[in-house]
Structure formats: C-alpha cells, structure tokens
C-alpha cells in the first residue's frame, strides 16, 4: 500500500506544480493582453475576439511586449501600423527597430511569428481579429486531450476517497470535465461575441477549484487521516 500512496503523492505534487505553472503562464500571456498585469475580462476579449480598434501589433506593444523596446520605438511601430504598414517605411524606419529589438526571439524561435519578414509583420499590423481559427483549433484539441488525461488520473485517485456519498463523489469527479468543455467552448463563443468572455473565466476557475478539492482531499486521506486515527486509537487504549 505504501508504494501506491507514494506513487499517487508524487503524481499529485507534480500535477499541482504544473497547474501553478499554467496559471503563471496565463498571467504572463493572456493576463497582459490589455497592458495591465492580472487576468481580466478585457484580457479574455482581446485574446479571443481581438481589440478591433487596433492591430495585433499594437496590442502586443501595449501589452506583453511593451518593455522590449523604448516607448519612442513602440510609438513609431504603432503609428506605422495605424497608417497602413507601408513597405517603403518598413525598409527605412521599421525594420532596423525590429532587427534590433525583436529578431533575437522572433527570428530564432519557430513558435513565434518571424516579424523580421515584411509579409508576416504586415499581417500582424492589420486590425486585431483575435485568435486565428487554425490556432484556436490546434490549442483546443491539445487542451481537450491533455487536460482530460490529467483529470482522469486525478479522478481515479479521488475515487478511492472515503466519507463521501457515491453521487457526491461522482459529481466532483465529473465537474472538471464539464468545466473544461465550457472553458474551451467559450473560447470559440468569445471569438464570435465578446460577451462570452465571462464563461472563459468561470470555466477555468471551476475546473481548477474542483481539481484542487480532489488533490487536497486525496493527500489528506492518504497521509493525515491515518495519523489522526492512530492517535485516536492510542487515546482510547490509554483511557
């Protein structure tokens, strides 16, 4: 029994750490979409529906990429995007800034758009329509497959917990899957209508809370509850 408890505990700790890292990643990406640290409804809207008063380039320069260049350089890039992203100005004024401040990452990391190329940055300089369908499809299927596996094993461990009525335990196990579907469905709905952004927050909070309840309950019943039972037995024996 001890090896199984250690196996489950190791899994719980690593998954818990992974959930915290996921939260940090969300704060550093989506949480900076409106230029302010901390996740808000505006962050969700800008990430999926887009900030349609400006371009993706402008959103990034006012958000997560704000500190990568000087305020003057950022303003130059934003003005260039707003005035149509002219190719002649790109060659004379914009490309030197991009090569100096953006190329280190964007020209070398395959997952980032190579903004040192005019065709790429010209597209990003257009009105921000939010997440692209192809990108949204890719991320959706990765999350559905990957996170459902995590919840499967969390639920499997929690299914061995005691002290719960079967229907309550079954509900707690099912809740993360339901909120995961709500979360990802809300990405697509927010892409069409920004009013659905609230459901993204509800979905993410819901499955995080349910998973946390299962993780902490499992740890408590594996390690703390047996010790409390032993102490109770000792007190009874001494009495």
**Partners of residue 56 on adjacent β-strands:** none
Residue 89 has pLDDT above 90, yes or no: yes
157 and 222 assigned to the same domain: yes
Domain edge (last residue) among 124, 146, 170: 124
Question: Maximum distance among all alpha carbons in the chain?
Answer: 91
**For 136-156, how does the pLDDT look when each residue is reduced to its tens digit (9 = 90+)?**
999 999 999 999 999 999 999
Tell me, yes or no, whether 105 lies in a domain.
Answer: yes
185 and 120 assigned to the same domain: no
117 and 144 assigned to the same domain: no
Tell me, yes or no, whether 190 lies in a domain.
Answer: yes
160 and 191 assigned to the same domain: yes
Burial of residue 104 (CB within 10 Å: 0-12, 13-18, 19+) is: exposed
Instruction: Give the number of other CB atoms < 10 A from CB of residue 67.
Output: 8
7 and 67 assigned to the same domain: no
Domain count across the chain: 2
Residue 178's domain spans which residues?
A: 2-33+132-238
Tell me, yes or no, whether 45 lies in a domain.
Answer: no
**For 204-236, how does the pLDDT look when each residue is reduced to its tens digit (9 = 90+)?**
999 999 999 999 999 999 999 987 766 654 454
């Amino acid at each position: 029994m001890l090896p199984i408890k250690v196996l489950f505990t190791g899994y719980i700790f690593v998954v818990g750490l992974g959930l915290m890292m996921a939260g940090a990643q969300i704060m550093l990406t989506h949480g900076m979409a409106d230029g302010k640290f901390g996740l808000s409804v505006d962050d969700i809207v800008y990430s999926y529906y887009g900030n349609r008063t400006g371009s993706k380039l402008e959103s990034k320069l006012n958000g997560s990429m704000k500190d990568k260049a000087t305020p003057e350089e950022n303003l130059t890039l934003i003005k260039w995007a707003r005035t149509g992203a002219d190719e002649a100005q790109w060659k004379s004024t914009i490309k030197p800034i991009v090569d100096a401040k953006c190329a280190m990452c964007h020209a070398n990391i395959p997952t980032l758009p190579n903004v040192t190329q005019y065709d790429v940055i010209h597209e990003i300089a257009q009105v921000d329509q939010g997440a692209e369908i192809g990108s949204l499809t890719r991320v959706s299927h990765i999350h559905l497959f990957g996170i459902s596996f995590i919840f499967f094993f969390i639920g499997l461990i929690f299914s061995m917990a005691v002290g719960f009525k079967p229907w309550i335990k079954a509900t707690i196990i099912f809740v993360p899957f339901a909120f995961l579907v709500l979360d990802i469905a809300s990405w697509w709905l927010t892409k069409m209508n920004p009013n659905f952004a609230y459901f993204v927050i509800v979905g993410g909070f819901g499955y995080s809370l349910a998973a946390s309840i299962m993780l902490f309950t499992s740890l408590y019943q594996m390690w703390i509850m047996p010790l409390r039972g032993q102490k109770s037995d000792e007190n009874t024996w001494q009495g």
